[in-house]
Amino acid sequence: VSTQSTGTGTIEAMLTQLLTTAAALLILGTGEARPDYISRATLINAKGQNGVSWGTLVVTVKGDGLYHRGVTGMVCDDYMTDDTAHFLCQAAGFGSMEQWSRLSRASDAHKLPYAEWQNLFVGKFAGFALDDLQCGPGATRLEECSHNSAGHHNCDYSEGMVLKCSEMERGVDLEDMDVQLQKGRGVMSSNGTVLLNGTRSSGLVCADGVTSETAELLCNEAGYDTLVDYQAAKNVNRSSKLSCDTLRYRNISVIVEDLDCPSNSTELGDCSASHARGDCDADDALWLSCTN
């Protein structure tokens, strides 16, 4: 299985994931509504590679007042400042912003092509997810910024945002992640592909660099006592891992790389990890065999 490629296929796969991961439930009754939030942000270059540090910004905005899949599109550069651009780089998983520009002033290498923008956004959405976004220094959540209602804008393609963000990424918050081992069509098992499930995102773990200590802790977090074996999914029998069809249908991809759990770790929150950079695909995802 390979979910990494370039061109339209990669962009469409990424956008499907943007639309389906971390779906927000509508709150029923008289409870307080959840404010809009950015559930996913990524940078895409002209080759269709997402997760790069320099590219066109695409976000999905969700909230209780929005359709449950949210609104996906570019961010308009109206009222853009360095503080807002810094917030957006952090939303995309990076430490800070190095530079920003509107699409009309950016190098072609860093632009989401116009034809792709029309095909993927215009019609399905309004083309832009956010307009008139203004964030102050230190903002970490969308609710701390002002903006038009998600999807409401007066922008055209040339006003999209291109960001160059620092290569040093913020670590992934693993505190709210549950660990499951799944195979086939999503059957829970003591041996299977590792799936992290969080409140706002879910996906696979890149196997590169994972140690036996880290694999052991993941077995424990999945409810098992002992690690038997750990491998990249490409080295495992097809029946013992999530199927290609399931990965495609559920739009599952690698979301975490460089997962490391020190020997004294007792829970997943003690570990560190980086956001996926797009160079580790489903074949490279972590597979575990555990037992009690």
Which two tokens mark 5? Answer: 């490629």
- Please tell me the pTM assigned to this model: 0.54
CA distance 19 to 167: 26
**For each of the chain's 292 residues, which pLDDT tens digit applies?**
444 444 555 555 555 555 444 333 333 333 445 577 887 788 888 887 777 789 999 988 876 665 556 788 899 999 999 999 999 998 888 888 999 999 999 999 999 888 888 777 666 667 888 999 999 998 888 889 999 888 788 898 999 999 999 865 556 778 778 999 999 999 999 999 999 987 556 789 999 999 999 999 999 999 999 999 999 999 999 999 999 888 877 778 888 888 998 888 889 988 888 877 777 888 999 999 999 9
pLDDT in tens, 167-190: 655 567 787 789 999 999 999 999
